A = this chain, B = another copy of it.
Amino acid sequence: MRATDGDARLGELHTPHGIVQTPAFMPVGTQGAVKAVRHLELEEAGAEIILANTYHLLLRPGDELIARRGGLHGFIGWARPILTDSGGFQVYSLAQRRVVTEEGADFQSHLDGTRYLLTPERATDVQARLGSDIAMVLDECLALPATRDEAAIAMARSVRWAERCRRRLLALRDGAVPDVRASNPGQAQFGVVQGGAFQDLRDESVDATVAIGFEGYAIGGLSVGEPVDQMYAVASATARRLPADRPRYLMGVGAPEDLVECVARGIDMFDCVLPTRNARNGQLFTSQGRINIKNVRYAEDDDPLDPQCGCYTCRHHSRAYLRHLYLAGEMTAAVLNTLHNLSFYLDSMRRIRDAIAFRTFATFRQEFLLSAGSAGTP
């Protein structure tokens, strides 16, 4: 940690492909591309790390094809850090005919019905072939609403799977798995804390996962429909129990105000499809709140989306033009809107880091929630 301000932490994450300043937001590059934009724009917007989805890449084009290309960095032409998830969440949310046993998750591809068995070992191997800088352990996702017993059983299984993932990674590092071509020898592995909304289960999960020992720790199973106050409470209590010297990653979160609120609770890393997906749906995040660009009030509005924003879209185009492109169904609307939303997210992270460095985070947080965190115009 370079500095703290309350529970908010300023840090650096060292990876084989460079350093990531934390708190960090990771744009989601599901299939090896952040939808609608080029890597160059991501870099210019300040993305220091992106996330790619193991499930999607395993199905298409396949982890072995990517390993033959030298790994994901070379294949997609992105030289900065990459984090891959374990594939577990998409198996849970996308795959068909899923059967989860102690061995792993048996499922059919949502693309063509091909059967796969994703075990903790295979999830580790696939990510080793992809060669991401940070790999995640396979965990069991919980169907909601869940009873305490269901949450406890899934959490306990996730801990056993985490042990298997770690053992496999160590074997890979030792060169003891000759048929797996690891593309990135310096790959780190993060454990995932589960336990639903039950803080005693979360505590148990933290202790067991930390006992295994990982380079960082994620909090999973949040932002899946629970009330936001519950999410904040679990994130806060869980973060507090995690080791102070390891990065803390809150998976799948969130809205701009969630980032600020969870940094305030000791979180260092985030990923979310919100800025990219909402951009494609015409919902834009600004320093004055959200804008729905479809709204007729923007038809003759010559102002930029966000007068405070220095992104390409705000420097070159008006709301009236962006509304026209959106209504006309032009792909360029997705390009320009995605650029803006990602710039807004990445700028917000930069401002968060500055505020922690100057120990003005409390003031920043208050002002941010009043403006950017507001509902904005419909």
Using a CB–CB cutoff of 8 Å, the interface residues on chain A facing chain B are 31-40, 56, 60-61, 65, 68-69, 75-77, 299-300, 302, 312, 316-318, 320-321, 324-325, 327-328, 330-336
* Chain B proximity of A151: nearest CB distance (Å): 34
Contact B331 A69, beta carbon cutoff 8 Å: no
Could you list 11 examples of A-B contacts with CB < 8 Å?
Answer: A31-B325, A31-B330, A36-B331, A36-B332, A36-B335, A38-B336, A56-B328, A60-B328, A65-B299, A69-B300, A69-B318
Partner of A39, one of B31, B69, B316: B316
Chain B residues contacting A56 (CB-CB under 8 Å) are 328
A40-B312 Cα distance, complex, nearest whole Å: 9
Given A300-B68, A321-B32, A37–B332 Cβ distance below 8 Å?
yes
Chain B residues contacting A68 (CB-CB under 8 Å) are 300
Given A69-B320, A302-B69, A318-B77, A331–B328 Cβ distance below 8 Å?
no
Contact A324 B31, beta carbon cutoff 8 Å: yes
Contact B300 A33, beta carbon cutoff 8 Å: no
Chain B residues contacting A34 (CB-CB under 8 Å) are 332
- Specify the chain B residue showing the minimal Cβ separation from A302: B69
Chain B residues contacting A328 (CB-CB under 8 Å) are 31-32, 56, 60
A104-B77 Cα distance, complex, nearest whole Å: 54
Q: 10 extra interchain contacts, Cβ-Cβ under 8 A, other than A33-B333, A331-B334?
A: A31-B324, A32-B324, A36-B332, A38-B316, A39-B316, A56-B328, A61-B320, A68-B300, A331-B331, A331-B335
Given A61-B299, A65-B299, A302-B69, A76–B35 Cβ distance below 8 Å?
no
- Specify the chain B residue showing the minimal Cβ separation from A41: B38
A333-B56 Cα distance, complex, nearest whole Å: 16
* Chain B proximity of A276: nearest CB distance (Å): 10
Contact A321 B76, beta carbon cutoff 8 Å: yes
7 tightest A-B contacts by CB?
A: A33-B332, A36-B331, A31-B328, A77-B316, A61-B324, A77-B317, A33-B330
Chain B residues contacting A61 (CB-CB under 8 Å) are 299, 320, 324, 327
A202-B16 Cα distance, complex, nearest whole Å: 67
Given A35-B330, A336-B38, A77–B321 Cβ distance below 8 Å?
yes
A40-B325 Cα distance, complex, nearest whole Å: 16
A180-B14 Cα distance, complex, nearest whole Å: 62
Chain B residues contacting A331 (CB-CB under 8 Å) are 35-36, 331, 334-335
